[in-house]
A and B are shown apart, each in its own frame.
Chain A
Amino acid sequence: MTSSVDTDAERAPSRAAPAPPPPHAPRLTWRQRLSVADAKWSPYLYVAPFFVVFGVVGLFPLLYTAYLSLFDRELLDLEGTWVGIANYVTLLGDAQFWNALVNTISIFLLSTIPQIIVAIAIAALLNTRLRAPTGWRVGVLLPYVASLVALGIIFANLFGPNYGLVNGVLEMLGFERIDWQANRFASHVAIAVMVNWRWTGYNALIVLAAMKAIPNEMHEAAVIDGAGAVRRFFSITLPLLRPTLIFVVITSTIGGLQIFTEPKLFDAMPGSNNGGSSGQFQTVTLYMYQTAFETQNLGYASAIAWVLFLIIIVIAVANFLLTRRIASSGVAEDGAR
């Protein structure tokens, strides 16, 4: 199929030219010229919508955020005052920002690591010979349909400190009640449970697809060499899953570091942007939202956004380089291209 690349569609018009009739060969008819122009320019037209939309509502706002971050500007103030890097200097000494950053990373780790381990386990279970395999796959994906808002409300209820079901069950089993709202670490766990609940099945399917792509011969050879199922899982399956796992980690990094809806809805004080009574689960995006649309300090909020942007890019690039290195040592590199 690749060999036919050079007979590309673009050349078709010249081939289409009816060879015999016109004696003065090189002159193209109006129709043919139109067809050549069509082949030449329409690709640009087809890709244009993406670039226009991305430029106007994606790239430009991001760059303008960097510009705004150099001003002291209120929501209703049209001009603003140039303050240079003052916002960033303030940010470095802003305890609330560091608190939010630590919260974000803590929730991110609590939601990514267990999620990947469970997703691999579920994928391994799904990779056995099941009756009605598709049915199970659909079932596993079910939480994915829940909206984050509905999820936040339901879990805030389940983890309620007084009447929440989770505490009820804990008490019944003879454990202490936990204040899932007030306790900083407990609140991170509760929010991470929400994230895990929604995404584990989705990631399990991605891992399952990668497992299915592992050639049978490898397992057969290992079986002949006397390797048991557990040994084969750790020596064959897991190493070959690495690129997929890193892909999963990258996507959850980009999403996870921007986490907003879950902590906002989890708050016992509805509508609050504080992330708990003392900001114990306020994330960076929540802090940015609060600064921009509650405190109405657009310049400072822009600085927060831009710093988070840089953090995400640095982590994503680091992950990408890591992926490339691992992927180049053998397995499917398709995604990198």
Chain B
Amino acid sequence: MTALSMAVRRRTVDAAGVRRARFWVYGLLIAFLLGSIFPFYWSFLVASRDSSMLTEQLPPLLPGGNFISNVGRVFDSVPFWRALGNSVVVSGTVTFTTVLFSTLAGFAFAKLRFRGRNTLFLIVVATLAVPTQLGIIPLYMAMAEFGWAGELQAVIVPHLVTAIGVFWMRQYTMQVVPYELIEAARVDGCSMIRVYWHVCLPAVRPAAAFLGMFTFMTSWNDFLWPLVVLNAENPTVQLALERLQSGFYIDYSLVLAGTTLATIPILIVFIVLGRQIVAGIMQGAVKG
């Protein structure tokens, strides 16, 4: 009896407004997921066959056996190892510095008192809306002047730290680091930098981890600026991909082998850390 009435109540207003999922909800979500996965699968499908499959009226829906040989051709056509190495160096460096500088600045803005703090923070917020990408022309001229054109530092330096990182870490630090803990550490004779290291950093680690993943993915996928400042001999992964596509005749099983190859590492990161990324986005959305 009680079980029955509970079941009835559950169906009507369970945690008010949040209704139990019906089968069509799952149906729609599955359809959306299939749509999300399809382009990835398609690219792998073409990469595992040869381009002639594209001319068929109804392309086969199962992968063929040419993936490895197509991947081999990718490595023959463009310096893909070099591109991978470059992308790892660039994204790794940018991620490290962005997290370091953002947590430091976030700590200062959230918990320390100094003259001009509010004004400076307002500037950070204002710069969130500034499309800095539009400054690439003088930036390119400057890089050429320094002799950095074609070098990795030209891609790294402009992205050492971002406004969104500082903003985000400040919001998070405000909520999780108690003043009492900072004071206690100061009384014990900690310098500010040690307070940051021993009190602030451990507390903000989840947010810092999310910022790191977000920065890595953004940097890994960056295209316009590397295209401007790097060249074909010293590319990032994205440039190498673009290069694959830019023959007179596009061999799609070759090109899509490249995109599959470039997607795999980031897909693995995503599958391993997906939960944290989701939590980070949702948390940032509520607070931001």
Do A154 and B42 contact each other (CB < 8 Å), given the known contacts A129-B19, A163-B55? yes
The segment from B63-71, B73-81, B191-199 that touches chain A is: B191-199
B242 interfacial contact with A, CB 8 Å: yes
Given contacts A8-B113, A154-B256, A165-B42, whether A50 and B105 have CB atoms under 8 Å apart is yes
B135:A219 contact, CB within 8 angstroms: no
Main secondary structure of the interface of A (DSSP, over half): helix
Query: Interface residue count for B (Cβ, 8 Å)?
Result: 118
- CB closest residue in chain A, given B250: A270
- The answer on a CB contact under 8 Å between A210 and B285 is yes
Which residue on chain B has the smallest CB distance to residue A41? B114
Interface centre among B129, B193, B267, B285 (most CB of A within 10 A): B285
Decide: B105 and A47 in contact? CB cutoff 8 A: yes
Given contacts A143-B36, A292-B137, contact A9 B111 (CB under 8 A): yes
The 10 A-B pairs of least Cβ separation, nearest first, read: A61-B135, A219-B17, A12-B186, A150-B259, A138-B274, A270-B246, A64-B138, A209-B282, A206-B285, A271-B246
Q: Which residues 21-46 of B have a CB within 8 angstroms of A?
A: 21-22, 25-26, 28-29, 32-33, 35-37, 39-40, 42-43, 46
Bound: A142/B250 CA distance, A: 27
Contact A145 B129 (CB under 8 A): no
Assess whether A151 is in contact with B21, with CB atoms less than 8 Å apart.
no
Question: With A1-B178, A153-B241, A153-B256 given, can you name 11 additional A-B contacts, CB distance below 8 Å?
Answer: A5-B179, A42-B108, A47-B108, A58-B135, A61-B137, A125-B21, A134-B278, A143-B39, A270-B248, A293-B140, A313-B130
Q: In the complex, are the beta carbons of B137 and A305 less than 8 A apart?
A: yes
A154 to B36, CA, bound (A): 13
Contact A145 B32 (CB under 8 A): no
Contact among B16, B182, B186 for A223, CB-based, below 8 A: B16
| In the complex, chain A residues whose CB is within 8 Å of the CB of B14 | 129
A205 and B263 within 8 A (CB): no
User: CA A145 – CA B132 in complex, angstroms?
Assistant: 23
Minimum Cβ distance to chain B for residue A6 (Å): 10
Given contacts A153-B259, A157-B252, A265-B242, contact A54 B39 (CB under 8 A): no
* A4 and B179 contacting across the interface, CB-CB below 8 Å: yes
Quick one: which of B32, B161, B270 has the most chain A CB within 10 A? Answer: B32
Quick one: given A46-B104, A210-B286, are A142 and B255 in contact (CB under 8 Å)?
A: no
Tell me if B179 and A126 are in contact (CB < 8 A): no
Which residues of A sit under 8 angstroms from B101, Cβ to Cβ?
Answer: 49-50, 53
Q: Which of A4, A141, A271 contacts B274, CB < 8 Å?
A: A141
Chain B 170-196 against A: per-residue CB contact (8 Å), 1 yes, 0 no? 010000001110110011010111011
Contacts of A53 in B (CB 8 A): 101, 157-158, 160-161
A101: Cβ under 8 A from any B Cβ:
no
8 A Cβ contacts from B226-277 to A: 228, 237-238, 241-242, 245-248, 250, 252, 255-256, 259, 262-263, 266-267, 269-270, 274-275, 277
B288 lies within 8 A of A47 (CB): no
A8 to B111, CA, bound (A): 8
Q: Which of B18, B113, B192, B223 contacts A38 (CB 8 A)?
A: B192
Q: Determine the distance from Cα of A210 to Cα of B142 in the docked complex, in whole angstroms.
A: 43
Give, as a whole number of angstroms, the nearest-CB distance from A304 to chain B.
9
- Of residues 7 to 52 in A, which have CB atoms within 8 Å of B's CB atoms? 7-10, 12-13, 15-16, 35, 38-40, 42-44, 46-47, 49-51
B residues sitting closer than 8 Å to A (CB atoms) are: 12-22, 25-26, 28-29, 32-33, 35-37, 39-40, 42-43, 46, 54-55, 57-59, 97, 101-102, 104-105, 107-109, 111-114, 117, 120, 123-125, 127, 129-142, 157-158, 160-161, 163, 166, 171, 178-180, 182-183, 186-187, 189, 191-193, 195-196, 217, 220-221, 223-224, 228, 237-238, 241-242, 245-248, 250, 252, 255-256, 259, 262-263, 266-267, 269-270, 274-275, 277-278, 281-283, 285-288
Residues A305 and B220 in contact, CB atoms below 8 Å apart: no
In the complex, what residues of A have CB within 8 A of residue B259's CB? 147, 149-150, 153-154
Interface flag for A179 (CB, 8 Å): no
Q: Which of A130, A131, A217, A261 contacts B224 (CB 8 A)?
A: A261
Q: Which residues from chain B contact A312 at a C-beta distance below 8 Å? A: 129, 131
How many Å lie between the Cα of A40 and that of B168 in the bound state? 24
Q: In the complex, which residues of chain A have a beta carbon less than 8 angstroms from the beta carbon of B135?
A: 57-58, 60-62, 64-65, 305
Min distance, Cβ B133 to any Cβ of chain A, angstroms = 6
Confirm or deny: A326 has a beta carbon within 8 angstroms of a beta carbon on chain B.
Answer: no
The CA-CA distance from A254 to B274 in the complex, in Å, is 26
Contact residues in A for B274 (Cβ distance below 8 Å): 138, 141
Contact between A68 and B137, CB atoms less than 8 A apart: yes
Contact A285 B138 (CB under 8 A): no
Q: Contact at A209–B283, with CB atoms within 8 Å? A: yes
Q: For B237, what are the chain A residues with a Cβ–Cβ distance below 8 Å?
A: 147
Residues on A with beta carbons closer than 8 Å to the beta carbon of B16: 216-217, 219-220, 223
B241 touches A8 (CB 8 A): no
> Which residue of chain A is the closest to B120 with respect to CB atoms?
A47
A289 to chain B, nearest CB (A): 7
* Residue A308 CB within 8 A of the other chain: yes
Contacts of A64 in B (CB 8 A): 135, 138
